[in-house]
Amino acid sequence: MILQERLEQAFQQFGWTRIPDILHHVAEEASNENIPYLEFLDKLLQEELTAKHDRFIKMKTRMAHLPYRKTMDQYDFTFQPSIEERRIRDLATLRFVEHQENLIFLGPPGTGKTHLAVALALEAIAKRYTVYFTTAHDLVQTLQQAHRNNTIQQKMKTYIKPHILIIDEIGYRKMEDEAAHFFFQIVSERYEKGSIILTSNKSYGSWGEIFGDSVLATAILDRLLHHSSTVNIKGESYRIKEKKKAGFFRQDKQEEEK
Ligand code: ADP
Ligand code: MG
């Protein structure tokens, strides 16, 4: 068997995909530039490890079910002065995840709650934490369906196991009794075990309405807030800012004409 074939077979058996792509080029370079054997080997292995890490991150990102990809650096803090950038950067160190604490973003629509939750998720995945993103509505619908199919125990694991569970958009719809009960169960099961990042357009005072039962709302808030931080965003919608820029609003034009 010729050398080339034997190498290819070996790479295949190891499951290495990056080295075969670059071997020829790196070997040529090493021989032209008299690179020591160990340095050559190190370069190949580091390339393979980087590629493996990238594949892992890609897979974990897919599994997290994020609605879109937005990073911390894509967030314009100057547009939202009610948020202290330093505080968000501190949250991005993910110490709160290490300590199984929760994080709640409150604020009106379009202020970047989901964006920041997604950005933190990407930071977390890069640090090899597992993340699962769901909207509150999908969460309770999925659990209600699983309950009917007798697969609730199994389905609960999807929401209990990841290091971070993101529950987006609490409060857009009221929950029925059964839905609120499932929501409570998730919050209880994760309590002091794994972080929840939650977003809502409703202040805590109106959570009784969301869950249709103030006793249950209190029990949920009690567990959720015990080890947690809240980021209150008070500001204008970024979506509307972009529309204004594009001249969607007549009032805006009139202002400009003045
Ligand atoms: P919501 O608070 O309703 O969850 P989103 O996070 O979905 O809002 O933000 C709406 C859109 O505006 C997204 O595309 C998001 O990336 C963008 N966005 C919101 N705030 C900012 C910001 N301060 N800087 C950059 N983009 C922003
Ligand atoms: Mg949102």
Mutation pick for ligand 1 pocket among 83, 113, 115, 201 (CB with most ligand atoms within 8 Å): 115
Interatomic CA distance for residues 98 and 92, integer angstroms = 12
**239 close to ligand 1 (CB < 6 Angstrom):** yes
**75 close to ligand 1 (CB < 6 Angstrom):** yes
- Ligand 1 atom 10: residue of nearest CA: 110
What does the chain come to in residues? 258
Q: How confident is the model at residue 123 (pLDDT cuts 50, 70, 90)?
A: very high
Look up residue 95 and give its two tokens. 């110490």
67-101 tens-digit pLDDT: 999 999 999 999 999 999 999 999 999 999 999 99
Ligand 1 atom showing the smallest separation from residue 79 Cα: 23
**238 close to ligand 1 (CB < 6 Angstrom):** yes
Ligand 1 atom showing the smallest separation from residue 70 Cα: 16
Beta bridge partners of 168: 135
What's the 75 CA to ligand 1 centre distance in angstroms? 8
Answer yes or no: are the C-beta atoms of 200 and 171 closer than 8 Å: yes
User: What sign does the CA torsion over 69, 72, 77, 81 have?
Assistant: positive
- Ligand 1 atom 19: residue of nearest CA: 112
What is residue 165's three-state secondary structure?
strand
Distances (CA, A) of 238 to 115, 133, 158: 11, 22, 32
pTM of the model: 0.88
223-249 tens-digit pLDDT: 999 999 999 999 899 988 777 777 766
